[in-house]
Amino acid sequence: MRPRSFDEIAGQEHLLGEGRVLRRAIDEDRAPSLILWGPPGSGKTTLSRLIADVTRATFVQLSAVTSGVADVRGAVAEARDRLGANGERTILFIDEIHRFSKSQQDALLPHVEDGTVTLIGATTENPSFEVISPLLSRARVYTLEPLSDEALNTIVDRALTEVDRGLGSLRARLSDDARSFLLRVSNGDARTALDALELSVESTPPDAGGERVVEVGTVEGAVQRQSRYDRLGEAHYDTISAFIKSVRASDPDAALYYLARMIDAGEDPMFIARRLIILASEDVGLGNPGALPVAVAAQQAVHFVGMPEGRIPLAEATLYLANSPKSNSAYTGIDKALGDVRRSRDEPIPMHLRNAPTRLMRELGYSEGYRYPHDYPGHFVESKNLPERLRGRRYYVPGSLGAEKQMGDRLRVWWGDRYRAGGDEEVEGGPESAL
């Protein structure tokens, strides 16, 4: 059922629709070297074969799983002979190019650059991380999307009606429930859809009229639900990023959805718990100081009870954090302070703050002038505690939400304008002059 022309391709209109840059380049026989990045079953191999057909080039296919440098050199040598003998070009298609090592990818560079081969690499992984930069600079990256249900529907209908290449001779049809289930579990993957369809049809006996009506139970038995989630792959990082940003955005529904995707895919629950602890400090922070104990308790609970019950404390902590007032003052404050520490010399600590365990130290003025806050009303007395050259530097800017609003109000009572709302005082003689 592989499409034999661009008109038969379902989906990928953003690349192959009329007037699109890639489609025009193919039609005008000037297709460049390409990296096709997309999920399984989205049409990477099909598109490569059609490019070879349209451009009248010899199509040579290698798999990075089973091929090595010797195979690449052999393919390049044959391509050079074809080009020299009759000017015939070669499209070298490398499936799963991300599995090639750096040295194997390096071996392709001179031959792609001098035009001996037009490279088309297919990958399910982000080429920014998996394909070496020199090769990326010599190829254009095109992203294929998972096929929509509409595109999959077209493919399924074509397979059910095509007699020569499909299942048309078996006179099969899908019930509405079976079709909906098939489209859903195929998850945008045409190969999965066709494999499951074929097995379902062949497993359904014909009725008295010779028609095979495939019901949902048959499809459920035929399909093995697969997740594209890979703990070391793109989906892992995209999903945890979406989870973190949804909690940060105070969107409990989205946060629970991405949590469910990670749990369903078998993500390490301790990884999720660690991210919740970081979220509690980085994004909720002093807006709700109770968030960190809740996140730590969730980690301990999951460690204690395990999965699947551990999903419940993970969900509880996720909802608590998503619904909490947010503050990143601890995150920004410590990073700002670390920046000053790393950019400046170790400034002398004020004498009144220094430790004075010996008489010599006391004679040198260590701890002299220190005022014990508990000896003063409200257990507070104003003092100058930063090194002289950093005097007046602001690292902590209180947020205006939740518990932190009260903290800010209290600091303004104690320190006045130093903690005025929204202030971030920069003073002359700050860290830059202390370098």
The mean pLDDT of 242-269, rounded to a whole number, is 91
Share of the chain above pLDDT 70, in %: 94
Q: Which residue has the higher pLDDT, 197 or 107?
A: 197
For 278-302, b/e burial (b = at least 16 CB within 10 A) is ebbbbbbbbbbbebbebbeebbebb
Judged by average pLDDT, the poorest of 92-101, 224-233, 252-261 is 224-233
Binned at pLDDT 50, 70 and 90, residue 168 comes out as: very high
- What pLDDT score does 394 carry? 82
DSSP 141: E
- What pLDDT score does 423 carry? 42
- In whole angstroms, give the CA distance from residue 412 to residue 177: 64
pLDDT exceeds cutoff 90 at 212: yes
Q: Which residue pairs, CB below 8 angstroms and at least 24 apart, start in 197-200?
A: 197/156, 197/159, 197/160, 197/167, 198/159, 198/167, 200/174
- What pLDDT score does 432 carry? 42
- Calculate helix-pair angle for 176-186, 190-202, nearest 10 degrees: 140
pLDDT exceeds cutoff 60 at 392: yes
- What pLDDT score does 274 carry? 94
Peptide linkage before 431 cis (omega within 30 of 0): no
The mean pLDDT of 342-358, rounded to a whole number, is 83
pLDDT exceeds cutoff 60 at 203: yes
Q: Please state the length of the chain.
A: 435
The mean pLDDT of 185-198, rounded to a whole number, is 90
- What pLDDT score does 434 carry? 37
Q: Delineate the domains of the chain, giving CATH numbers in brackets.
A: 6-143 (3.40.50.300), 149-222 (1.10.8.60), 234-322 (1.20.272.10), 337-434 (no CATH)
- What pLDDT score does 230 carry? 58
- What pLDDT score does 162 carry? 92
- In whole angstroms, give the CA distance from residue 167 to residue 174: 12
Judged by average pLDDT, the poorest of 117-126, 305-314, 360-369, 415-424 is 415-424
278-306 pLDDT per residue, tens: 999 999 999 999 999 999 999 999 988 88
> Where is mean pLDDT largest: 150-164, 333-347, 400-414?
150-164
pLDDT exceeds cutoff 60 at 241: yes
- In whole angstroms, give the CA distance from residue 279 to residue 281: 5
Binned at pLDDT 50, 70 and 90, residue 364 comes out as: confident
Judged by average pLDDT, the poorest of 33-47, 56-70, 345-359, 413-427 is 413-427
Binned at pLDDT 50, 70 and 90, residue 426 comes out as: very low
- In whole angstroms, give the CA distance from residue 423 to residue 392: 12
DSSP per-residue codes, 69-116:
HHHHHHHHHHHHHHHHHH---EEEEEETGGGS-HHHHHTTHHHHHTTS
The mean pLDDT of 142-156, rounded to a whole number, is 91
Binned at pLDDT 50, 70 and 90, residue 320 comes out as: very high
The mean pLDDT of 30-37, rounded to a whole number, is 88
Share of the chain above pLDDT 90, in %: 36
- What pLDDT score does 278 carry? 95
Judged by average pLDDT, the poorest of 31-40, 137-146, 238-247, 355-364 is 355-364
According to the 3-state scheme, what is the secondary structure of 175-234?
Answer: CHHHHHHHHHHHCCCHHHHHHHHHHHHHCCCCCCCCCEEECHHHHHHHCCCCCCCCCCCH
- What pLDDT score does 260 carry? 92
Amino acid at 330: A
